[in-house]
Amino acid sequence: MNKSSDSTTENATNNVTRHVTVAVIGAGTAGQNAFRTASKTTKNVVIINDGFWTTTCATVGCMPSKLLVAAASRAHDAQHSDQFGIHADVRIDGKQVMARIQAERNFFTHNVKKQVDSWPNDKKISGRAHINKDGLIEVNDELIKADKIIVATGSSPFIPDNWTDKLGKTLLTTDNVFELSDLPTSMAVIGAGSVGLEIAQSMSRLGVAVTLFNRENRVGGLQDDDINKKAIECLGHGLTMELNSRVDDVGTCSDDKKSTAFVKYKDSDGQAQEWQGEYVLVATGRRNNIEQLGIENLDVELDDKNRPKDLDINTGQIGDLEVYIVGDANAHIPLLHVASDEGFSAGSSVCPNNTDADMRPPSIPLSIIFCEPQIANIGMTLPEVEDSGLHYVIGEVSFDTQGRSRVMGVNCGLLHIYSCKETDKILGASMVGPDAEYIAHIMAVAITNELTIKALLDTPIYHPTIVEGLRTALRDVQDKMAIPYQAQLTQEDGF
């Protein structure tokens, strides 16, 4: 790996137990895809993994959290159907809720593990890899020389300094919250990003006394102030939030029976406050697992946030080194579909005689938060559009009055579409609203294929659907561009 041939290196090389064409370190979504793709064209490949041989998504991320969201949605609908003339007494069995989450989670992880088990045993190594000063991979009792290395070591929940010691058993992260045998009585959630929002709202809907804290007056990382304001309004109907607050201290206080967690903070007015309850869920983001790997011994440079410099976002390659860092490990866009594409691309790039069949172009930015109403961001953010120098307009639609949304009783939301005046194409969009996941995918397809506003309006949109709101926003774009739409008039949204 571009190392000097001094005597120390020569001695180390003589002790090599295995020489491979490709070594993949990490067996999450990105690593598994990289291994499978590389294996198509070379048999001299090995994958090394420390911990479970499933994925973050299936084990502690996307899937168990969506199982929690699904349970919460059922409970909420059953409890809040009075407007339809439907009245019910609802009993929530916390143990059954958590048991189903764990059982279904195990179903997903079993399927992942089943595929891993089908791989040849001599290609899999369980253990913690470390890259030494000679660029060789040390793992267990092996010393491996790899012509090419794919790093896919994923990420872990970030916990502020000393919080683990201060909170003890009352500290939760996504690594252990889904292992609870019963729903807690109360919970503080620190962080209003995707994880914090989904878990906080779901737990609240399931009868847990939840307070959500965030240091900014912002939720879901929204960068469009109008969408953010609307999201806070919609989510605030059933969730206690302490936004624009500052956590000063956390800890526990004990009596004869149990420990109680506390959070000392200053509220949005700067007044000192204290929360007490059963658990504190820390949802302050994730950090890539790269610090202890020895990546610097491969001449890879990291910035002050542990992100690799000279990263090719198409392949994950670092400069002209035969080193590829993919998935959450590169801290580029920590989303499953991005990690999947990066794994395929890296696995293709390292293989000789590759036909580029599995090369994936960079994805259009797409994120969806599965709170209710859902939050979605697609393409360029509003600050990016503003900084681009492009002439743009913002088309919008409110879901407060949109036809199908009112029929369903989910009428709270707002969609903004950012469109370029010169090209008549969509630059990006931000939304909080019902069925945002479906509108987000339509928008992503439109941006990926560079469809014009007119081309998108020429496609059929069925009546009456929530997606009709998208058409209203697109028409608003055209009105603001002063470009008349000449197609035959269609029935207006919801009526």
- In degrees, rounded to 5, the angle at the alpha carbon of residue 402 between the alpha carbons of residues 399 and 404 is 110
Residues 380 and 438 in one domain: yes
Has residue 233 been placed in a domain?
A: yes
Domain boundary among 285, 303, 324: 285
Backbone dihedral angles phi then psi of residue 65, each to the nearest 5 degrees: -70, -35
Torsion of CA 213, 216, 220, 226, to 10 degrees: 130
What gap in Å lies between CA 205 and CA 191, rounded to an integer?
18
Q: Give every CB contact of residue 76 below 8 A, 6+ residues apart in sequence.
A: 205, 238, 372
What pLDDT score was predicted for residue 494?
Answer: 47
Q: Within a domain: residue 470?
A: yes
Do both 151 and 14 map to the same domain?
yes
Residues 220, 259 share a domain = yes
Instruction: Tally Cβ neighbours within 10 Å of residue 313.
Output: 15
* Same-domain status, 464 and 393: yes
| pLDDT value of residue 279 | 98
pTM, 2 dp: 0.91
Same domain (yes/no): 148, 297: yes
Domain membership flag for residue 85: no
Residue 70 lies in a domain: no
Question: Which tokens hold the place of 397?
Answer: 């639609």
Cα 79 versus chain centre, distance: 29
**Same-domain status, 441 and 333:** no
275 and 223 in a common domain: yes
- Rounded CA separation 316/314 (Å): 6
CA–CA separation, 386 and 395 (whole Å): 15
β-strand partners of 249: 264
Reported residue count of the chain is 495
pLDDT tens digits in sequence order for the chain, 495 residues long: 444 445 555 555 669 999 999 999 999 999 999 999 999 988 999 999 999 999 999 999 999 999 999 999 999 999 999 999 999 999 999 999 999 999 999 999 999 999 999 999 999 999 999 999 999 999 999 999 999 999 999 999 999 999 999 999 999 999 999 999 999 999 999 999 999 999 999 999 999 999 999 999 999 999 999 999 999 999 999 999 999 999 999 999 987 678 899 999 999 999 999 999 999 999 999 999 998 899 999 999 999 888 899 999 888 999 999 999 999 999 888 888 888 889 988 998 887 665 555 566 778 999 999 999 999 999 999 999 999 999 999 999 999 999 999 999 999 999 999 999 999 999 999 999 999 999 999 999 999 999 999 999 999 999 999 999 999 999 999 999 975 444 434 444 544
Q: Are 29 and 140 members of one domain?
A: yes
Domain range for 272 is: 163-285
SS3 for the chain is CCCCCCHHHHHHHHCCCEEEEEEEECCCHHHHHHHHHHHCCCCCEEEEECCCCCCHHHHHCHHHHHHHHHHHHHHHHHHCCHHHCCCCCCCCCHHHHHHHHHHHHHHHHHHHHHHHHCCCHHHEEECCCEECCCCCEEECCEEEEEEEEEECCCEEECCCCCHHHHHHHHEECCCCHHHCCCCCCEEEEECCCHHHHHHHHHHHHCCCEEEEEECCCCCCCCCCHHHHHHHHHHHCCCCEEEECCEEEEEEEEECCCCEEEEEEEECCCCCEEEEEECEEEECCCEEECCCCCCHHHHCCCECCCCCECCECCCCCEECCCCEEECHHHHCCCCCHHHHHHHHHHHHHHCCCCCCCCCCCCCCCCEEEECCCCEEEEEECCHHHHHHHCCCEEEEEEECCCCHHHHHHCCCCCEEEEEEECCCCEEEEEEEEECCHHHHHHHHHHHHHCCCEHHHHHCCCCCCCCCCHHHHHHHHHHHHHHCCCCCCCCCCCCCC
Taking phi first (over 0 means left), then psi (-120 to 50 degrees means alpha), and beta for anything else, what does residue 127 get? left
Query: Does 223 lie in the same domain as 213?
Result: yes
Q: Which residue has the tokens 């997903």?
A: 108
Report angle CA 477, 480, 481 to the nearest 5 degrees. Answer: 85
Quick check: 334 and 349 in contact, CB under 8 A? no
Domain co-membership, 152 together with 17:
yes
Answer whether residue 468 is part of any domain.
Answer: yes
Q: Are 105 and 67 contacting, i.e. CB atoms less than 8 angstroms apart? A: yes
Distance CA(335)–CA(223), nearest Å, equals 18
Domain C-terminal end among 285, 307, 333:
285
Read off the CATH number of the domain in which 411 is found: 3.30.390.30
- Could you tell me if residue 464 is inside a domain? yes
Domains of the chain: total: 3
Q: What pLDDT does residue 178 have?
A: 98
We report the CATH number of the domain holding residue 132 as 3.50.50.60
| Residue keyed to tokens 């996504």 | 174
Quick check: is 467 in a domain?
yes
Same domain, 269 and 281: yes
Assess whether 390 and 469 both reside in one domain: yes
Q: Is residue 422 domain-resident?
A: yes
Residue 220 to residues 191, 208, 210, 404, 454, Cα–Cα distance (Å) = 9, 21, 17, 25, 31
Domain boundary among 263, 285, 307: 285
User: Which region, left, alpha or beta, applies to residue 38 given φ > 0 means left and ψ of -120 to 50 means alpha?
Assistant: alpha
Structure tokens at 2: 């571009």
> Closest Cα partner for 205 from 334, 72, 310?
72
Residue written as tokens 């209003």? Answer: 192
